[in-house]
Amino acid sequence: MKISRRRFLKLFGGSVTAAAIFQACGIPERELIVQSPLEMPEDMVSGTDNWYATLSPGEAVSSGIVVRVMEGRAKKIEGNSDYPINQGKHNVVAESGLQGLYHPDRISSPRIRRGNRGEDKWDEISWTDALSRVSESMTNLKKSSGVVLVTEPLSSNLNLVVNKFVSKFNVKHVQYELIEKTNLRWAVKKVFKQDRIPDFDIENSDYVISFGADFLNTWNSPLRYSRGYSNFREQSTGSGRGTLIYVGSHLSLTAANADKWIYVIPGSEGILAYAISYVLLDKYESDVKVSDEKTWLKVLSQYAPSKVKELTGLSESEIEELAKGLVKHKRPLVLGGGSVGAYTNGMQNLEAIYMLNVLLGNVGQKGGVIFNPTPPILKGFPDHLSDYANFAHMRELGSSAKSGEVEILLLRGVNPVYGVPGFKTCLSEIPLIVSFSGIMDDSAMMADIILPENHYLEDWGSDIPNPGPGYPTIGFQQPVVRPFFEKRGIHLGTKSFPDVIMALAEIQNIDLGLNASNYENVLRNFVDELFKLKRGSIKANNSRDFWNGVLQRGGWWDVDDRVVNYELGSIPVPTKLASARFSGNVDTYPFYLVPFELGSLTDGRGAHLPWLQATPDPITTVTWATWIEINLNKAKELGIKEGDVIKVKSEYGEIEAFAYPHPGVSPDVLAIPIGQGHESGDRYSSARGANVLSILSPATDEESGAWAWASTRVSISLTGNNSPLSKFENIAPDLSVDEGGHIIKITSGE
């Protein structure tokens, strides 16, 4: 369907009348566009700065930020002290938002492919032309259900707009996350009967056991948990210094900060949780809460500490010591996540782990598990749990694409070509692929049309954090600067994603029922409903002042609205745990492969930002590379030294990366970070490092269908090459501090 220039200007807020008047007065078109402050005369630069509150959506849970703006340019990002999630703190991911905004490789206008997919040959086209092509393709579908939209998990108003769009157009919507939380969400649903992930009150706990949850670095809401952890460790809070125990197969940042790191055989964490539960019921029955104790003991007796030593690698006394620590402290808390939930029995592992909190009676208690209420006006919004896709759904999408059932694939905020092994080969039968990416990545490279969206600092938005802080919280995102490519004119540059899909609906003469002409007005309508509640953090006499207050503070929240009913009903009796299955014969592939996220690159979405590439890993200090963490003694045994290029092979492929021997890894484990190895992208991410995801088994959780990305075994071999690792401490030898021999050397006396 062709779009006239007049209609396009109407859709995206331009005024034909105003343009005609200005042209009649003889004002050149370029004068209608605000000049870049970089090009302004020196005497017009005032040097006055303003700070605007918005959100940083580049993390697992968005954090509140304030942005310093001078002369229309964003200069600095800090944490928003008002926002409940991070309360003034921020991290390098938020800080790097400035580089994303001013990235030299941002896509500055719509593009259409020229040549074969993946050749990186493009022609620039106008938004009028691009939207006409997409709209015409949607009109001429052979099957009414031939359009699929794949996005990152959405919340709040964007989820509402997208849900309206997909329902009206009969589009299949898949919400995909690379390191998915499917098992965590379903474990929370089964154990706590909650649709939203609870708030874990680390701050007020005095004894925490974390099963694989790297909450100080990447898991869930690390900024919030880090603030809580600082109070947890503060001895002046009344309960003394809290104790942290970390159970896992890899020395993460949280493990490095723990009082004790306990290594267990990968996949056996649920067995360990059951063994602890057995000790709690058998020895400390008066301190735990369960109705049918005899039935529980009958099931759990097969996991008694004396029977699971070979399965977990822990002695009976070590397991009993963990149970004793939980019982003897007033406010214990047990967490589970990361690779623990990424085996073929990952969901069962997490259920067993979180059930410990129920036995300890800390649900709804200070220092325990705090439920998050549903924000008050979200009735009618899509369900937060069932609409998330898992890896099995992505494989189904790939099969549908191969069979020709998908005619148009829309991609927004996701990179499945990078994150889903084999997905690239499924795209050849799709006639039209449209990407909304603002920067080139592996999936955008395979697109036919690119409709680049605004950077988040140029755009409107809202977010409902999951997990929240224990009370309703809604964050708001506002444009703090004008779109960087605005000077290219309304027919080029970047646009807001929700505005684009609303425009597509308008072109097709379809009413989405939003009662709004653009996404900003959707948010205004939403805020008007909040104003009518007459409660929460913003006090105002009218809706206009309320809107300004929401933007000034970066959101709305109500600290008085908390869950008061913590009745869990009947607690299901534990069931027998399935054993974790690993792809690869132990004789051929002797190592467990443990992929892990970095606090900088996260799941790879930050690889295009040099600040994140140059951020040292807190354990190894390595930057700009992919490395393999291998046990120090095992490396000596195999003749491997730091910087050796190692070939890692699984049943599904092989990669090469640098060796990094150190003692924080078990002899039977190799740990490799996720985030590098992009085949296509910008100047900073393309062809750098290796993609560990490409050699992982496609095995899924037996119950949930989630990707069991920690269920692969591998072998290694030397390539004969070596190169110094790019590390923060570089390669300088240790300085001698005892040239005179003044330090007494203690020997065995032999």
Whether 441 is in a domain gets the answer no
For residues 76 and 208, membership in a common domain is answered with no
Lowest mean pLDDT among 229-238, 446-455, 666-675: 229-238
Three-state secondary structure call for residue 426: helix
Banded pLDDT at 6 (limits 50, 70, 90): low
- Which amino acid does the sequence have at 154? L
Task: Calculate mean pLDDT across residues 61-70.
Answer: 94
Whether 632 is in a domain gets the answer yes
- Could you please report the per-residue DSSP string of 69-117? EETTEEEEEEE-TT-TTTTT---HHHHTHHHHHT-TTB--S-EEE-SST
CATH number at residue 696: 2.40.40.20
| Residue 278 lies in domain | 182-370
Lowest mean pLDDT among 229-238, 253-262, 456-465, 474-483: 229-238
Q: What is the largest CA-CA distance in the chain?
A: 100
DSSP 669: E
Choice between 670 and 742, residue whose per-residue pLDDT is larger: 670
Task: Calculate mean pLDDT across residues 273-286.
Answer: 88
Cβ–Cβ under 8 Å, residues 596 and 90: no
Residue 588 has pLDDT above 60, yes or no: yes
Q: CA 438 to CA 62: how far, in whole Å?
A: 19
Residue 21 has pLDDT above 50, yes or no: no
Residue 35 has pLDDT above 50, yes or no: no
Cβ–Cβ under 8 Å, residues 63 and 223: yes
| Percent of all residues in the chain with a pLDDT value above 70, rounded to a whole number | 88
State the DSSP H helix or E strand holding residue 345, giving kind and residue range, or none if neither: none
For tokens 């499945």, name the residue: 416
Residue 748 has pLDDT above 80, yes or no: no
Could you say which of 341, 370, 399 is where a domain stops? 370
CATH number at residue 468: 3.30.200.210
Smallest CA-to-CA distance from 712 within 596, 549, 579, 593 is with 593
Whether 436 is in a domain gets the answer no
Smallest CA-to-CA distance from 436 within 162, 114, 167, 116 is with 162
For residues 360 and 487, membership in a common domain is answered with no
Residue 84 has pLDDT above 60, yes or no: yes
DSSP 744: P
Q: What's residue 7's pLDDT?
A: 58
| Percent of all residues in the chain with a pLDDT value above 90, rounded to a whole number | 74
Where helices occur in 301-426 by DSSP H, the ranges are 309-312, 316-328, 346-360, 391-402, 416-419
Cβ–Cβ under 8 Å, residues 372 and 221: no
Q: Provide the Cα torsion 87, 93, 94, 99; round to 10°.
A: 170
Record the tokens describing residue 43, joined without a space.
Answer: 């005497």
Sheet holding 111-113, edge to edge: 122-124, 111-113, 449-450, 432-435, 408-412, 147-151, 172-175
Choice between 308 and 59, residue whose per-residue pLDDT is larger: 308
Q: What's residue 15's pLDDT?
A: 38
For residues 597 and 550, membership in a common domain is answered with no
Banded pLDDT at 284 (limits 50, 70, 90): confident
For residues 677 and 532, membership in a common domain is answered with no
For residues 243 and 348, membership in a common domain is answered with yes
For residues 353 and 473, membership in a common domain is answered with no
Residue 29 has pLDDT above 50, yes or no: no
Bridge partners of residue 336, in order along the sequence: 211
Residue 193 neighbours by CB under 8 Å, 6+ apart: 568, 569
For residues 222 and 96, membership in a common domain is answered with no
Choice between 296 and 96, residue whose per-residue pLDDT is larger: 96
Residue 391 has pLDDT above 70, yes or no: yes
Smallest CA-to-CA distance from 626 within 593, 647, 656 is with 656
Q: What's residue 155's pLDDT?
A: 86
Banded pLDDT at 653 (limits 50, 70, 90): very high
Could you say which of 330, 346, 370 is where a domain stops? 370
**Backbone dihedral angles phi then psi of residue 96, each to the nearest 5 degrees:** -75, -5
Please state, in angstroms and as integers, the Cα–Cα distance from residue 467 to each residue in 93, 136, 341, 472, following that order.
19, 41, 17, 10
Report the 10 Å Cβ neighbour count for 105.
15
Chain mean pLDDT for the chain: 88
Count of alpha carbons within 13 Å of 98, Cβ hemisphere only?
Answer: 15
Banded pLDDT at 282 (limits 50, 70, 90): confident
DSSP 583: B
Choice between 654 and 386, residue whose per-residue pLDDT is larger: 654
Three-state secondary structure call for residue 611: helix
Whether 210 is in a domain gets the answer yes
Report the 10 Å Cβ neighbour count for 717.
12
DSSP 471: S
Cβ–Cβ under 8 Å, residues 468 and 64: no
Q: What's residue 538's pLDDT?
A: 93
Q: CA 56 to CA 90: how far, in whole Å?
A: 9
Smallest CA-to-CA distance from 652 within 584, 702, 716 is with 584
For residues 529 and 604, membership in a common domain is answered with no
For residues 340 and 467, membership in a common domain is answered with no
Q: What's residue 34's pLDDT?
A: 39
Whether 538 is in a domain gets the answer yes
For residues 552 and 604, membership in a common domain is answered with no
Q: What's residue 30's pLDDT?
A: 40
Q: What is the pLDDT of residues 142-196, one digit of tens each?
A: 887 899 999 999 988 999 999 999 999 999 999 999 998 999 999 999 999 998 9
> Can you list the pairs that 523-530 forms with residues at least 24 positions away whose Cβ atoms lie under 8 Å?
523/157, 523/460, 523/461, 523/462, 523/476, 526/156, 526/157, 526/377, 526/462, 527/476, 527/556, 529/377, 530/377, 530/474, 530/556
Q: CA 101 to CA 91: how far, in whole Å?
A: 17
Q: CA 478 to CA 464: how far, in whole Å?
A: 15
Record the tokens describing residue 495, joined without a space.
Answer: 């646009």
Count of alpha carbons within 13 Å of 644, Cβ hemisphere only?
Answer: 20
Banded pLDDT at 10 (limits 50, 70, 90): low
Q: What's residue 25's pLDDT?
A: 36
Task: Calculate mean pLDDT across residues 391-406.
Answer: 89
Cβ–Cβ under 8 Å, residues 344 and 581: yes
- Which amino acid does the sequence have at 569? G
Q: CA 624 to CA 126: how far, in whole Å?
A: 36
State the DSSP H helix or E strand holding residue 632, giving kind and residue range, or none if neither: helix 632-638
Task: Calculate mean pLDDT across residues 365-376.
Answer: 91
Count of the separate structural domains present in the chain: 3
Burial class (CB in 10 A: 0-12, 13-18, 19+), 509: exposed
Q: What's residue 8's pLDDT?
A: 54
Residue 731 has pLDDT above 60, yes or no: no
Q: CA 177 to CA 365: how far, in whole Å?
A: 31
Q: CA 173 to CA 166: how far, in whole Å?
A: 7
Three-state secondary structure call for residue 143: coil
For residues 542 and 634, membership in a common domain is answered with no
Q: CA 498 to CA 310: how far, in whole Å?
A: 54
Whether 508 is in a domain gets the answer no
Whether 327 is in a domain gets the answer yes
Q: What's residue 388's pLDDT?
A: 62
Q: CA 537 to CA 555: how far, in whole Å?
A: 9
What is the pTM assigned to this prediction? 0.88
For residues 595 and 689, membership in a common domain is answered with yes
Residue 377 has pLDDT above 90, yes or no: no
Choice between 295 and 559, residue whose per-residue pLDDT is larger: 559
Q: CA 437 to CA 329: how far, in whole Å?
A: 49
DSSP β-ladder status, 408-412 and 147-151: parallel
Q: Provide the Cα torsion 439, 440, 444, 446; round to 10°.
A: 170
Whether 707 is in a domain gets the answer yes
Burial pattern 635-647, b for ≥16 Cβ within 10 A else e, equals: beebebebbbebb
Three-state secondary structure call for residue 660: strand
- Classify the phi-psi angles of 24: left when phi > 0, otherwise alpha if psi is within -120 to 50, otherwise beta: alpha
